[in-house]
Structure 1
């Protein structure tokens, strides 16, 4: 049976000797059912290496686990699903692992689908926390400025700095999760989010509030990077698109729910109630993680015992060894997490990250403009109504999350079959760039044009349903871009899937932070129409160029990237 490398440190293992074995790639002909005339493709060394390290091999397309994706004439027998091996309670990993209702298993791919969806939905709920904490503050900013005696610009720092910390801290959360596991990181980070949300609610001046908001943003953002790693841990590639769509619904529902809840709470109870809401949300999520999220990071195949080598050494040698250990620890905790940024030098990572980041920046500029433009004439909406306007793009996110991922999975299967990419056991081989077909061409056309229509209709005071329909189309189409880009990053950097997503969050949240800062003065200076015209043109040009380059060069770039990463080891 061929190996299917997964997103953990060593990838999910299908057998003890399978990871090391070269993979032969066969092209199957459905008309050759009576004779063994299947010809092995001549694959050069580079492409062979590419398929081993960058493609997902040995996973079925739309068939039960372990069943070959072959024409009926070539399927000789039905392969039963391997038994689920539950880890004994005493050997389970992660903080308070014995309290989890869902047990840890040897191979996370072996969980039942219902269990996988429980894990995925819990992660999606947790991922909502970070963007919820930023957007829930929008309606409260005027009240906050008046009560704490801060200017509007300074008050905006409580949102902008929160988002900046969301971009930086996941680099560390991601690195720690690959070393210490997902569950422990979730529990620690959400406990910190709870503490800093309470501290924010009790703040008595703007400086105190901004500091605690920075800490709250950094702690809440752990799931945005690590969560994608968990999804990749439990879902195989052929079904991961739909799962990633549901996962990505979390960070996009935050901008929908936040202003609605924030507007109601700020109007009735004051700005502190928004922070208390975040604290309650953090507490509920912490308990859900405690009960429903087992450790999913794949276990290393060999666990080496810790040996004390200093028992027979001199005092000088012992001191040197201690110094080396301290230096290694400092490097591991302060330097190594930032090393993931080096992945940005690789074209497939770079292009995919920026493809999603510019769409995300457009999202936050649109969010800020809603607050700014719909409270002015001719609309004159109050705070509560302004919050309800975010339902329009939110519905687009939800619809695409439910149906878009399944569409992308089918496109991947179609492309693999069309190219006759099968391994020696007759199972489809998937490539990350298979996700970029008509779905991405359509999405990258619709979301910039939707912003264009929104900008001009809201500038000229067109009946409010017209710009809202544009925002709905923007939400639906941009969600296709977000989910495809995130999933591809987990596949480009498959042995450290959360690292790829951490890079994505780093760039994406920096873009969104800049968007929040410049949106209001930019719209005030040249008008919403020209602002979103500029965004539309830039997104169309860059998006089409990115899709074309990835479709044309991704395989060659992945070979070069794999070689460079292997040389770094």
Structure 2
């Protein structure tokens, strides 16, 4: 369903202390002495999510330029929804902040939203931004919840559906592959129809497919609907990062992205415990019913708490021409051609986002994150397999609890890692004395890679050695648990930093940039899930994780060194080619 468009455009603000309200929108006077806007020369601009929006983005930037001041954020009160920030400059200029009328809000069932849509999402009150961020984080938890909840129940599925171990693992591996592929289309559709509609449609489908998984009568039916549910849940993997970029200024985006990442990382933290408990108390089908209930709850949250955040496209000027037989025939031909173009646009064009990988900053960032994500799923398979063997031979629910250490590491790193990355970014800008003409720091995405990334790409591969060799020799479970905790702590620094950088490298198509990242990393996680079990059987836990450690460290070090040396030059060339200047 196409998002409805507002028939009127907001007029430029008068240079007075108060702006008059319009008749079709709730125009609210805005005090620039308490407002911060990003300067158009800042390399970080708020994403509009589509290259087709470039002209509109230029108009927005021109409006920002008129009222820009380098500031810090403080909370204000604007109808309980909008935010204001203290300005260093004393000015009497003002401009209206427009709340979209209920009947003109975009997205499916837009009029039912409790949080009103506004024309500039960065103007929301900070508490409202955090509310939306947490709702999106909860939605993002669905996809990893669906994969991790299955690990403790794999033996139960194998026995009930009479399938071998490799085929049973496909119910997880192909789920991950669907999570890799489908975001390419979800991302493209979100840039056409808006983010809200995609969230609602995908979670309605996720709920239905989870129910069908729960009632599966054979392994083929289960695997097919697992693929469908994985594809449906994956919408937020790319669209969610775009929503965060819509809401938050670059200086705060690292913190917001870390909280957003709590969703997909709390899934692996809680899902194995819940899955183990449900599989032991009932059977594996209970895990699928839980996913269906979770999908329904998230759907309701999205329905009421998620406004459309994608910037509006400018309305084309309406022209009226006299209707004749010739124009009618031409109209039919034009509409037929439009149908063909739309099929091409929605079926084949989404694959074009993979072309972002031709840009070295995107490619290097994606590789750094993807190999860490692949290692994560080898760890997950090893936990399920090793703790069900001697000398451990744990019960299903205890095996689920053994995923807690890595999940705790993810959580701690999410809370403290994001603000650390933001501080590093600001520090590097001050050190380089990069200020615009109004005294605001000019922030560059490559500034996020400093001691934080060196620490992460050194620590998480070494933690794999501790984890693998202690499992190999059957040492008390505490030892491999420490390795898993360190892995979660350090790998999360990689995930949050790389995702934030991608939204800033490809800032005008942020959701597409993240979709490329998800495609590569989930493809590697699918491969890791499939090869882990036979690889461990052939080599043993110690040597498998030794090889993984060496590979991850060598590739990560190479990519980081190349980024530090060339990122600025590469980014400027990429901006020219993508029209982001």
TM-score bin, normalised by smaller chain: 0.7 to 0.9
1:492 and 2:532 matched: no
Q: Distance in 1 between matches of 2:389 and 2:233?
A: 33
Task: Identify the residue that residue 30 of structure 1 maps to in structure 2.
Answer: none
TM-aligned CA distance change 1:395 to 1:427, over 3 Å: same
Q: Distance in 2 between matches of 1:308 and 1:522?
A: 69
For residue 6 of structure 1, the aligned residue among 46, 67, 70 is 46
Q: Distance in 1 between matches of 2:133 and 2:155?
A: 37
1:427 and 2:448 matched: no
Query: 1:503-546, CA deviations, whole angstroms, 9 ceiling, x for partnerless residues?
Result: 01000100000000011111111111111111111111111111
Q: Distance in 1 between matches of 2:426 and 2:533?
A: 44
Task: Identify the residue that residue 547 of structure 1 maps to in structure 2.
Answer: 560
TM-aligned CA distance change 1:147 to 1:12, over 3 Å: farther
TM-score, normalised with respect to structure 1: 0.88
2:326 counterpart SS class:
coil
2:348 counterpart SS class:
helix
Query: 1:96-141, CA deviations, whole angstroms, 9 ceiling, x for partnerless residues?
Result: 1111111111110011111111111111111010111111112222
TM-score, normalised with respect to structure 2: 0.86
Q: Distance in 1 between matches of 2:413 and 2:480?
A: 19
Query: 1:420-447, CA deviations, whole angstroms, 9 ceiling, x for partnerless residues?
Result: 1111211111100010011101111111
Cα contact 1:392–1:468 (8 A) shared by 2: yes
Q: Distance in 1 between matches of 2:517 and 2:482?
A: 29
Query: 1:316-344, CA deviations, whole angstroms, 9 ceiling, x for partnerless residues?
Result: 53443233111111111101111101111
Task: Identify the residue that residue 206 of structure 1 maps to in structure 2.
Answer: 219
1:377 and 2:417 matched: no
Q: Which moved more, 1:147-156 or 1:428-437?
A: 147-156
1:472 and 2:512 matched: no
Task: Identify the residue that residue 415 of structure 2 maps to in structure 1.
Answer: 402
Q: Distance in 2 between matches of 1:439 and 1:302?
A: 44
Uncovered stretches (5+) of structure 2, i.e. residues with no partner? 1-36, 76-83
For residue 545 of structure 2, the aligned residue among 532, 546, 554 is 532
1:283 and 2:296 matched: yes
For residue 116 of structure 2, the aligned residue among 94, 99, 103 is 103
For residue 240 of structure 2, the aligned residue among 215, 227, 231 is 227
For residue 189 of structure 1, the aligned residue among 202, 219, 240 is 202
1:93 and 2:133 matched: no
2:230 counterpart SS class:
helix
> CA RMSD, aligned part only?
2.6
1:418 and 2:458 matched: no
**Offset at residue 143 of structure 1 (A):** 1.8
Task: Identify the residue that residue 363 of structure 1 maps to in structure 2.
Answer: 376
Q: Which has the higher contact order (CA 8 A, sep 6+)?
A: 1
Q: Distance in 1 between matches of 2:423 and 2:298?
A: 33
**Offset at residue 374 of structure 1 (A):** 1.6
1:167 and 2:207 matched: no
1:324 and 2:345 matched: no
Cα contact 2:73–2:86 (8 A) shared by 1: no
1:117 and 2:130 matched: yes
Uncovered stretches (5+) of structure 1, i.e. residues with no partner? 24-56, 69-74
2:99 counterpart SS class:
coil
Cα contact 2:70–2:439 (8 A) shared by 1: no
TM-aligned CA distance change 1:16 to 1:341, over 3 Å: closer
Task: Identify the residue that residue 52 of structure 1 maps to in structure 2.
Answer: none
Q: Distance in 2 between matches of 1:426 and 1:318?
A: 54
TM-aligned CA distance change 1:448 to 1:306, over 3 Å: farther
Q: Distance in 2 between matches of 1:133 and 1:309?
A: 56
Q: Distance in 2 between matches of 1:76 and 1:58?
A: 7
Task: Identify the residue that residue 13 of structure 2 maps to in structure 1.
Answer: none
Cα contact 2:184–2:516 (8 A) shared by 1: yes
1:85 counterpart SS class:
strand
Q: Distance in 2 between matches of 1:123 and 1:306?
A: 40
TM-aligned CA distance change 1:522 to 1:532, over 3 Å: same
**Offset at residue 400 of structure 1 (A):** 0.9
Q: Distance in 2 between matches of 1:241 and 1:554?
A: 19
Q: Distance in 2 between matches of 1:245 and 1:405?
A: 5
TM-aligned CA distance change 1:407 to 1:378, over 3 Å: same
